[in-house]
């Protein structure tokens, strides 16, 4: 059996009891280590689980899946995923490959950022499409996410923006020269995301949002040191929210007064928050 087991959002203790029992008896355990990170290191995870864990980077998962699945028809193999296996990042490709090899699969779900973002006080059924924000470069500033945000804005729904992480990435020069030298890990911040969103709006000039648009920044959701900050995109573009992982929610105009009252408590500036809210928000759920 191949088990895809969700680890939850924060630390080694967030795994479910069922998931932990499966991990303890499995022949091999892999930790998916490129689409997200747990807020503790692998050694702490191994100590809590009582066994060794094999890190599975993008290369192993995408090109070495046969190694992961080897023997899965005779023994239990576990693939650990931060959050939920089918949450913000899906691993349907691994399941499909297992099926081709005649290996049974089972999923053990857990909390993901898709549900955990409810900690902001914003109603989950008032969210539209989720989008991803990648690190811009001097020559590459993709804005396809902007079209999805526009669709959410047109229907008055909130937009969850998932922020880029770079783990075990190569520079273009090292990649071209075939040198397996990797760049230091990078994790996008709420401030970087807000600044890039404003940069895209300045480029597209379609009025989907602007400096006074309200948003909520979330850092380390589910952890003891979770942090939430609300304010305008301009304010959030300079906010400091500490260690990763970060996410951002752009408010929809149908924001209910109960949602407003909740997020106002962690506003950068309550006066600017109120002024922006009066301009374009508020409706019945």
Binding residues for S-adenosyl-L-methionine: 9, 84, 87, 112-113, 163, 221, 246
Q: Is the dihedral of CA 111, 114, 116, 121 positive or negative?
A: negative
What's the rounded Cα separation, in Å, for the pair 114 and 259? 17
Question: Three-class SS of residue 46?
Answer: helix
Show binding-site residues: 9, 84, 87, 112-113, 163, 221, 246
> Could you give the strand order of the β-sheet that contains 246-250, starting from the edge strand earlier in sequence?
131-133, 159-163, 246-250, 214-219, 227-232
- Tokens coding 40: 């503790």
Q: Phi/psi at 85 (nearest 5 deg)? A: -55, -35
Beta bridge partners of 231: 215
User: Quick count: other Cβ atoms within 10 Å of Cβ 117?
Assistant: 22
DSSP 66-122: HHHHTTTTTS-EEEEESB-TTSSS--HHHHHHHHHTT--EEEE----HHHHGGGGS-
Residue 278 DSSP one-character state: H
Burial of 86 (0-12, 13-18, 19+ CB in 10 A): middle
CA neighbor of 29 nearest in space, from 1, 6, 52: 52
Pairing state between β 28-32 and 77-81: parallel
What's the rounded Cα separation, in Å, for the pair 32 and 16? 17
């Amino acid at each position: 059996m191949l088990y895809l087991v969700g680890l939850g959002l924060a630390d080694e203790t967030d795994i479910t009891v069922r998931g932990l029992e499966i991990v303890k008896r499995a022949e091999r355990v892999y930790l998916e280590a490129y689409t997200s990170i747990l807020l503790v290191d692998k050694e702490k995870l191994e100590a809590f689980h009582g066994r060794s864990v094999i890190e599975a980077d993008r290369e192993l998962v995408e090109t070495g899946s046969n190694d992961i699945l080897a023997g899965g028809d005779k023994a239990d193999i576990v693939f650990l995923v931060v959050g939920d296996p089918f949450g913000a990042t899906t691993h349907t490709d691994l399941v499909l490959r297992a099926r081709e090899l005649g290996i049974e699969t089972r999923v053990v779900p857990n909390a993901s950022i898709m549900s955990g973002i409810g900690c902001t006080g914003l109603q989950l059924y008032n969210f539209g499409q989720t989008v991803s924000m990648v690190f811009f470069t001097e020559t590459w500033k993709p804005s396809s996410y902007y079209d999805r945000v526009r669709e959410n804005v047109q229907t008055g729904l909130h937009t969850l923006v998932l922020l880029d992480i770079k783990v075990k990435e190569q520079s273009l020069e090292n990649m071209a020269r075939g040198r397996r030298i990797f760049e230091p890990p990078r994790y996008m911040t709420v401030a970087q995301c807000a600044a890039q969103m404003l940069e895209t709006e300045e480029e597209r000039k379609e009025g989907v949002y602007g400096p006074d648009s309200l948003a909520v920044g979330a850092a380390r959701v589910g952890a003891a040191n979770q942090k939430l900050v609300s304010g305008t995109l301009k304010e959030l573009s300079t906010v400091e929210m500490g260690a990763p992982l970060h996410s951002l929610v752009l408010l929809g105009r149908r924001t209910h007064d109960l949602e407003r009252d909740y997020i106002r408590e962690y506003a950068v500036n309550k006066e600017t928050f109120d002024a922006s809210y009066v301009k374009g928000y508020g409706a019945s759920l």
